Amino acid sequence: MEPRQHILIVDDQENIRSALGTFLGRMGYQVDTASTGLEALAIVEKQEPDLVLLDVVLDERDQSQMSGLEVCRRLRSREHFIPIIMLTSYPEWQVESLGQGAIAFVTKPWDNNALANQIRATLGAVSHIRRETLPSGTTNNQLKVRGDIQIDLEHFRVSRAGQQIDLTPIEFALLAFLARNPNRHWTREELLNHVWDYTWAGYERTVDRHIAALRRKLKLERDELIETVHGVGYRLLQE
């Protein structure tokens, strides 16, 4: 039997920690909770969770404590990548949360189904990327794409001209797959099977939406790097 995936919940409100812990425990996850940033970092040092649910605004009345954004920065500076989903009641924190290294963002009060899907998608994408793009014995985890786009496969980061680009887990997995398999076309069905995994049930046009998001975030002109192969799918052009 495979070990249960481990999720750390970091929130200064006991009722939220309890509600999330109960919900995720029923989903089959191993759950730990922390009420402060220092407590969270101590747990991470000992146990290396698979994912962290982190409140943006932790109780900062005690100056010895730290904000959720500071915890996020410290987690992202670690050598071992841990995906972070930020939780907050304030949607305006979304941009800064993602800019500090969070991989996704959920607004309180959350919808249980939406949160569960976000957690599954994040864990699934991270697992897939590690399995497919970091095979045993890999020593070069930096992938240079044509032009000034750089992919850090180990820390799940993408930059263009030195500027970090915030991608969702699936967007990152899609770009990494295309970049590791350039100059050949892939059908939408093949991309769904390779990137989303064959167990994912969805419409092929989902691929189109993610390609459009990559082009927008990377500021690519149509067919500048990721070419549409009409009637077939897509390919990444590499010199």
The pLDDT assigned to 133 comes to 55
CATH code at 6-110: 3.40.50.2300
With 0-12 / 13-18 / 19 or more C-beta atoms within 10 angstroms meaning exposed / middle / buried, residue 3 is exposed
Of 89, 120, 123, 124, the closest CA to residue 106 belongs to: 89
Classify 144 as helix, strand or coil.
strand
For the chain, the domains span: 6-110, 136-236
Q: CA-CA distances (angstroms) from residue 95 to 51, 104, 152, 229?
A: 20, 10, 21, 33
The two structure tokens encoding residue 74: 């410290």
The pLDDT assigned to 51 comes to 94
DSSP state of 78: S
The pLDDT assigned to 192 comes to 83
Of 94, 91, 104, 96, the closest CA to residue 70 belongs to: 96
Q: Domain 136-236, what fold? A: Arc Repressor Mutant, subunit A (1.10.10)
- Tell me, yes or no, if the two domains 6-110 and 136-236 fold the same way: no
Cis peptide bond prior to 109, omega within 30° of 0: yes
Mean pLDDT per 10-residue section of the chain, whose length is 239 residues: 86 93 95 93 93 84 75 83 83 57 77 88 76 53 83 84 82 89 91 69 72 92 89 89
Residues 56 and 68: beta-carbon distance below 8 Å: yes
The pLDDT assigned to 140 comes to 59
pTM of the model: 0.67
The pLDDT assigned to 235 comes to 94
